[in-house]
Amino acid sequence: VAVHSENRSRGAIWDALQRKEVYATSGPRILLWFDLDNAKSPDGAPGVAPMGATVAMDDAPSFTVRAVGSFKQNPGCPEHSIQRLGKDRLQRLCQMECYNPSSERKRITRIEVIRVRPQNVANEDVASLIQDVWKKHDCPEDASGYTFTFKDDDYVAGNRDTTYYVRAIEEPSMSVNGGNLRCERDAEGNCIKIKPCYKDYRTDKTDDCLAEVEERAWSSPIYLNHPKGLMRTAEAQ
């Protein structure tokens, strides 16, 4: 989990968790921002609402996503880790492979936007309401990160509360246990038998099941309350 906090104090981190200004990654330290650009404060003043926010909205929402890939890793452990813990302990803890970033970042290849809306009636088909993926944007080959803006012109006429969140997908990289379901293939390359990587006596202990995966980061949602959606809720209560 990553938090957008004002500083690294315990109180600031708990505050960020409480306001849901947090996101998750599949492991790497990907940087991610997701903001509603045309939010309004209770007094009507324009402003920006970050991921995790709940906003009453009667205009078409406009959003900005910014993502930066994680640092590519150097092999082994940095000198300061070796000095503090010693080679023997690092070998026992992590087989001498530490967080050891280079100055080069991995590329974000695409941004995916997910839109979720509630049912208007109990038997309404949810397949069209849970839109994964609703929008997809392919990013240029730029390791410095990418910014993507989008708007939902359907929101106002849709008369529904709506939830949005985003995923930032990183370029493929090798990962331990990335190939946990491997195939035994025939001469034509077809998978004829699954050979799981069990990571116990059934798999060679030197086999890390390495395979390419697309690491990613998921934002917290932004929750929009539609005026007519709020009216329906009040009538139901």
> Where does the pLDDT of residue 234 fall: very low under 50, low under 70, confident under 90, or very high at 90 and above?
very low
pTM: 0.85
- Express each pLDDT in 109-132 by its tens digit: 999 999 999 988 888 899 989 999
Q: Above pLDDT 90, what percent of the chain?
A: 68
pLDDT the model gives residue 40 = 82
Q: Is residue 28's pLDDT more than 60?
A: yes
Provide the sign of the torsion angle of the four alpha carbons 187, 192, 198, 201, taken in this order.
negative
- Express each pLDDT in 63-105 by its tens digit: 999 999 999 999 999 999 999 999 999 999 998 999 999 999 9
Tokens representing 13? 């981190």
Q: Cα–Cα distance between 68 and 104 in angstroms, integer?
A: 11
Find where tokens 């505050």 sit. Answer: 15
> What b/e sequence results for 76-107 when a residue is b if at least 16 CB atoms lie within 10 Å of its CB, and e otherwise?
ebeeebeeebeeeebeeeeeeebeeeeeebbb
Q: Above pLDDT 70, what percent of the chain?
A: 95
Tell me the β-bridge partners of 43: none
For range 58-66, the mean pLDDT: 95
Q: Cα–Cα distance between 35 and 61 in angstroms, integer?
A: 10
For range 160-171, the mean pLDDT: 96
Provide the sign of the torsion angle of the four alpha carbons 120, 122, 124, 128, taken in this order.
positive
- Express each pLDDT in 30-45 by its tens digit: 999 999 999 987 666 7
> Where does the pLDDT of residue 200 fall: very low under 50, low under 70, confident under 90, or very high at 90 and above?
confident
Q: Cα–Cα distance between 62 and 155 in angstroms, integer?
A: 10
In this structure, are residues 41 and 47 in contact, taking their beta carbons and an 8 Å threshold? Answer: yes
